Amino acid sequence: MEQKPRVGIVVGSPNDLPKVREATDVLAGLGVPYEVVVASAHRTPEKVTRYAAEAAARGLEVIIAGAGLAAHLPGVIAAHTTLPVIGVPLAAGTLGGLDALLATVQMPPGVPVAAVGIDAARNAALLAAAVLALKDEELAAKLKDFRRQMAADLEAQAARRIEELWGGKK
Ligand code: RP5
């Protein structure tokens, strides 16, 4: 039986979908069920409102919202739910994502959005998993393993690179 999604991933355009692929890869790797939805704060505003308003009752626990340009999507979602909303500003236009970064991070007091870096969908997924792990010991253990593996990979990569550049010379 398919598991109910715990994380909702919303993007503002079908063109944004490839950019959240790395978020779904992370969540799948951690065994966190998710769903992906396209809804635009400007072009399909009723869909966004309905999705956000119904999210908690549907069992979602965290929402990741990615949008480019005047990225109002994370903020509008946050306006309609008290679930944690993680905004991913996407590089979609001439300003390289700086426009979306500022729109995502500069929320008015009272309606927070946790903004990650431009195009940082992977970090958004890890942050979403960290929120879920507060009440999920199995997931918390998987996140610790992920960190251990990341550190081991970095050490191995550093050793290889140092050997390549200075191998033989002491
Ligand atoms: C935003 O406008 C979307 O999130 C997208 O990143 C950007 C451009 O939209 P498209 O013209 O690619 O549909 O709403």
For every one of its 170 residues, what pLDDT tens digit does the chain have, with 9 covering 90 and above? 579 999 999 999 999 999 999 999 999 999 999 999 999 999 999 999 999 999 999 999 999 999 999 999 999 999 999 999 999 999 999 999 999 999 999 999 999 999 999 999 999 999 999 999 999 999 999 999 999 999 999 999 999 999 999 997 65
CA distance 88 to 71: 9
Q: At what angle do helices 21-30 and 137-166 cross, to 10 degrees?
A: 120
Say if CB 63 and CB 35 are below 8 A apart.
Answer: no
Of ligand 1's listed atoms, the one at least distance from the Cα of 43 is 14
Q: What is the pTM of this model?
A: 0.95
69 lines ligand 1 (CB under 6 A): yes
Distance between CA 46 and CA 167 in Å, rounded?
61
Asked whether 119 lines ligand 1 (CB < 6 A), one says no
Q: What is the rounded CA–CA span in Å between residue 40 and residue 50?
A: 12
The pLDDT assigned to 169 comes to 66
The answer to whether the CB of 124 falls within 8 A of the CB of 93 is: no
CB of 81 closer than 6 A to ligand 1?
Answer: no
Cβ–ligand 1 distance for 95 under 6 Å, the answer no
How crowded is the C-beta side of 100, counted as CA atoms within 13 Å? Answer: 29
What confidence score (pLDDT) does residue 2 get? 79
Residue 64 CA to ligand 1 centre (angstroms): 16
Pocket of ligand 1 contains residue 104 by CB under 6 Å: no
Please state the separation of Cα 17 from the chain's center in Å: 12
Residue 92 Cα: closest atom of ligand 1: 6
* Nearest CA owner, ligand 1 atom 9: 13
Question: What is the distance in A from the centroid of ligand 1 to the CA of 167?
Answer: 48
Q: What is the rounded CA–CA span in Å between residue 30 and residue 91?
A: 26
